[in-house]
Amino acid sequence: MRTRRRQVLSDEAGENFWPSFADLTSTIALILFVLVVLAYIQNLASGRHLERVQAELRQTLERLSDSQRQIRSAQDRLRRLSSEITAGQARLALSQAEVARQQELIAASNRELEELRSRLQAMGVLRLNVLEKVKQSLEGELQKTRGAGAPLARIADNGNIVLDESLLFESNSHTIKDEGRPFLDSLATAFSQVLADPEVRKSIDVITVQGHTDERGTSTYNRELSARRANAVLDYIFQADPGLEQQYGSYFASSAYSEFRPIDTGKNEAAYRKNRRIEISVVLRDSSIREVIDEYIANQPSLAAPGALPPTPAAPGQPPATP
């Protein structure tokens, strides 16, 4: 009886135990399942986060690469700029040196030009002195030619001696009038006196007797008439003072300008009368001036003509040929 009772208790206890173990197992399985699901979810979330992080990392790397390229480009530009600055500084230094050299050259040129100006001014004063001597020698005869009207002989503004046609010639003639002979006699004497001075003679290149007509008539006739009149005046002053031709004949020349150098361009008798004239021009020797200028140019390499030859000096005692 007791044995049977213990067996019944034992069976009841066994029946109570197994349901509890099954519940525990189910609970554990459920927990494990939940853990697995959580782990999966976590892995899934982590994977997405990782992909996002990797995408952001790739973008960051790309931006970094772009930044590096920009930095390299900026460094290249900086190097080029530094090179250009260095080259510019070198050019600036050369330019400053060149400016200083040019300033020295300009200062030296200014000094030389001032010296040249002074020498040319001295020659201009000499020309005025020569013309003044001729004028003084002719002053008496010039006074005689002044009447109620315009003077028949005068010293023009350019220094030429201007003789009215009516003082020397009849219309359309090249024969010297008796009224004009005294003036030409005085002119011959005046030139003899002027040319007797060696210093003055050194400065005179040529004394030209120029014939001029008005525009009426043909150019051939006017050219022949002006040439004949100029030659007639020169022949007469040589006849009036034979020593003038013998000693100083090489200083004289005649020329004919026909109607092509009028004093007055008017178309009336007064203008025509002014244009019919004889002009005597004392041309100073340019060789002295040329020597001064040539000397200046020779000292200026930038002005000297390539292959230019020095001027040929005139023979002693002879004036140079007129260009």
- Give the separation between CA 319 and CA 323, rounded to whole angstroms: 12
> Does position 4 have pLDDT exceeding 60, yes or no?
no
pLDDT band at 88 (very low <50, low <70, confident <90, very high): confident
Per-residue pLDDT, averaged over 58-82, amounts to: 87
Enter the pTM of the model.
Answer: 0.54
Least confident of 53-62, 174-183, 200-209: 53-62
pLDDT band at 294 (very low <50, low <70, confident <90, very high): low
- Residue 3 pairs in a beta bridge with none
237 Cβ contact partners less than 8 Å away, ≥ 6 residues apart: 184, 187, 188, 191, 244
Measured distance CA(208)–CA(279) in Å, rounded: 8
The whole-number pLDDT of residue 262 equals 93
Q: How many CA atoms, within 13 angstroms, populate the side-chain half-sphere of residue 90?
A: 6
Residue 218 or residue 151, greater confidence: 218
Summarize the confidence of residues 281-305 as an average pLDDT. Answer: 64
Provide the pairing of β-strand 153-155 with 161-164.
antiparallel
Give the range among 46-55, 99-108, 258-267 with minimum mean pLDDT. Answer: 46-55
In the chain the domains, ranked by start, together with CATH numbers, are: 111-295 (3.30.1330.60)
pLDDT band of residue 266 (cuts 50, 70, 90) is very high
pLDDT band at 302 (very low <50, low <70, confident <90, very high): low
Average pLDDT over residues 185-204: 86
pLDDT at 317 over 60: no
Q: How many residues does the chain have?
A: 323
| pLDDT score for 68 | 87
Instruction: Report which of residues 317 and 193 the model is more confident about.
Output: 193
Rg of the chain, C-alpha, whole Å: 60
Residue 71 reports pLDDT greater than 80: yes
Mean pLDDT across 223-243: 95
Question: Which of 52-61, 102-111, 148-157 has the weakest average pLDDT?
Answer: 148-157
Letter for the amino acid at 12? E
